[in-house]
């Protein structure tokens, strides 16, 4: 004989938990942030363990299980990060364990990492295919890439054209200098940012001055933008063109981003 116990919380208590656990009483922006954080945490608990690196965690590193050991990689030292992001509380800025270019990962040995975390960083790279080559290089066999990419349709990039895979191929084969200024021009013209893009300029002279300032400051714009279809095209295209055989383990559209869990497969 089995006994089935049923428990029903009073409506006010249920509502309390729904509001505080899921943010139902918050505005859209805060609720969206809560959903994104929750989804990242769920996938992290499932796929991230052992020893690995996170690139560009800054003030929002991925939550990981206690058995995971993460080394944080950034192109700037802690002093440079604090100077570059004065709006962020100093105690929230991660101290990098490794100061390195996130595209090349030069100091990190081959086949040394069980995971690589890269959330909202690939769009900042001028040469994304070079980045994926080096992630593949440093991952152990069956290692995990936890990758979150902004969906342009849900961000300030919504009016920008999707970056085609052929463009990424040319950035990789020729180097990205050929397209650098083009990206800054597009960003200033089309990104929906009051303080950086439109309406931050009114005349052609002001527009050119802003473009030149951003280039001279080495401002970290979104050089490339993707919608979900273009993300899949990039990942599958790299497998065919460059033999970067990442097995897609999980995909989740979450708020303003798409999370890919990719696993390194052994090259044949």
Do strands 69-74 and 98-99 pair parallel, antiparallel, or not at all (unpaired)?
A: parallel
pTM of the model: 0.86
The pLDDT, as a whole number, for residue 82 is 81
Residue 178: CA count within 13 A, CB half-sphere = 10
Range with the poorest average pLDDT among 13-22, 27-36, 43-52: 13-22
Please state, in angstroms and rounded to a whole number, the distance separating the CA atoms of residues 268 and 259: 27
**How sure is the predictor about 120, in pLDDT bands with cuts at 50, 70 and 90?**
very high
| Pairing status of strand 113-119 against strand 139-150 | parallel
Classified as helix, coil or strand, 259 is strand
Q: What domains are there in the chain, each with its CATH number?
A: 11-176+223-264 (3.40.50.150)
What does the pLDDT look like over 47-69, one tens digit per residue? 999 999 999 988 789 999 999 99
Residue 35: which pLDDT band, with cuts at 50, 70 and 90?
confident
Instruction: Identify the bridge partners of residue 264 per DSSP, sorted by sequence position.
Output: 246
């Amino acid at each position: 004989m089995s006994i089935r116990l049923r428990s029903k919380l009073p409506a006010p208590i249920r509502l309390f938990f729904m509001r505080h656990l899921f943010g139902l009483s918050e505005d859209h922006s805060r609720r969206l942030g809560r959903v994104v954080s929750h989804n990242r945490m769920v996938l992290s608990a499932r796929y991230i363990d052992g020893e690995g690196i996170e690139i560009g965690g800054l003030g929002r590193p991925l939550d990981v299980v206690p058995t995971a050991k993460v080394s944080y990689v950034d192109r700037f030292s802690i002093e440079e990060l604090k100077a570059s992001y004065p709006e962020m509380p100093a105690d929230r800025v991660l101290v990098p364990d490794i100061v390195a270019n996130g595209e090349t990962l030069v100091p990190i040995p081959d086949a040394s990492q069980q995971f690589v975390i890269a959330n909202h960083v690939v769009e900042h790279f001028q040469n994304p295919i070079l980045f994926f080559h080096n992630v593949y290089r440093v991952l152990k066999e069956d290692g995990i890439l936890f990758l979150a990419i902004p969906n342009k349709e849900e961000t300030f990039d919504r009016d920008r054209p999707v970056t085609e895979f052929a463009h990424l191929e040319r950035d990789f084969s020729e180097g990205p200098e050929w397209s650098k200024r083009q990206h800054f021009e597009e960003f200033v013209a089309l990104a929906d940012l009051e303080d950086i893009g439109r309406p931050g300029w009114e005349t052609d002279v002001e527009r050119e001055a802003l473009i030149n300032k951003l280039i001279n400051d080495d401002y970290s714009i979104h050089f490339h933008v993707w919608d979900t279809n273009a993300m899949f095209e990039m990942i599958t295209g790299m497998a065919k063109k460059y033999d970067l055989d990442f097995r897609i383990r999980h995909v989740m559209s979450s708020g303003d981003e798409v999370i890919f869990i990719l696993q390194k497969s052994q090259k044949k």
